């Protein structure tokens, strides 16, 4: 049985809200998922999980949310062979570099052997307006996890 974790980095709480919404959908679909704020994660812990569901917002000029940036630096020295991942986050198109942090994470994980489960969920602005999209994305992730754990 694979183990899955949601790890989120969120400065103003927007991606955190998204993370807990996704958690609820995954649990409703009977997926056993742990959730952690990235500030409570030590890099070595990532090896305990088969599926990494990572949430990160994007800040100035497309940079990664500060707390997540710390984990990311360690990730560059790790191998993710055999692991699978899905990414989500909040951004604003108006700032440019829309949700670029997710693209940065995607490249890093792919280059280090991990396989992407689903295209990244990029939410522009208020998550409440994207309820349907968030539910659909979560259910697709849940299906992919169920498939792997069969
Ligand atoms: C100063 C500033 C710079 C930002 N830069 C970007 C950016 O380059 N790209 C983007 O997609 N969103 C950008 N945003 C939007 C944030 O990602 C958005 O406010 C998001 O909801 C923050 O999520 P969090 O509360 O989970 O950290 C920026 C916001 C601020 C206030």
State how far the Cα of 88 lies from the Cα of 99, in Å rounded to an integer: 9
On average, the pLDDT of the chain sits at 95
- How much is the pLDDT for 2? 74
| Res 88 pLDDT > 80 | yes
- How much is the pLDDT for 33? 96
In terms of C-beta density within 10 A (0-12 exposed, 13-18 middle, 19 or more buried), how is residue 112 classed?
A: middle
Q: Which helix (H) or strand (E) holds 8?
A: strand 4-9
Q: What is the pTM of this model?
A: 0.97
| Residue 73, number of CB atoms within 10 A of its CB | 11
Ligand 1 pocket, mutate which of 20, 56, 57 (most atoms under 8 A from CB)? 57
| Separation of CA 122 and ligand 1 centre (Å) | 12
Among candidates 110, 105, 108, which has minimal Cα distance to 122?
Answer: 105
Query: Domains of the chain by range and CATH?
Result: 4-149 (3.40.50.360)
State how far the Cα of 13 lies from the Cα of 58, in Å rounded to an integer: 13
State how far the Cα of 57 lies from the Cα of 98, in Å rounded to an integer: 10
Work out which ligand 1 atom sits closest to the CA atom of 93: 11
Query: What is the pLDDT averaged over residues 100-106?
Result: 98
In terms of C-beta density within 10 A (0-12 exposed, 13-18 middle, 19 or more buried), how is residue 81 classed?
A: exposed
Pocket of ligand 1 (CB under 6 A): 10-15, 57-62, 65, 90-92, 95-99
Query: What is the pLDDT averaged over residues 74-79?
Result: 97
């Amino acid at each position: 049985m694979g183990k899955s974790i949601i790890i989120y980095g969120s400065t103003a709480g927007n991606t955190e809200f998204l993370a807990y919404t996704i958690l609820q959908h995954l649990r409703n679909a009977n997926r056993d998922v742990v959730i952690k704020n990235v500030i409570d994660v030590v890099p070595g812990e990532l090896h305990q999980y088969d599926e990494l569901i990572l949430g990160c917002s994007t800040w100035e000029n497309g940079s990664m949310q500060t707390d997540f940036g710390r984990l990311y630096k360690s990730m560059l020295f790790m191998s993710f062979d055999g692991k699978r991942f899905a990414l989500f986050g909040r951004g604003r198109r108006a700032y440019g570099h829309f949700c670029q942090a997710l693209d940065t994470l995607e490249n890093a994980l792919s280059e280090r052997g991990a396989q992407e489960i689903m295209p990244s969920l990029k939410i522009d602005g208020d998550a409440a307006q994207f309820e349907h999209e968030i539910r659909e994305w979560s259910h697709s992730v849940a299906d992919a996890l169920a498939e792997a754990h069969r």
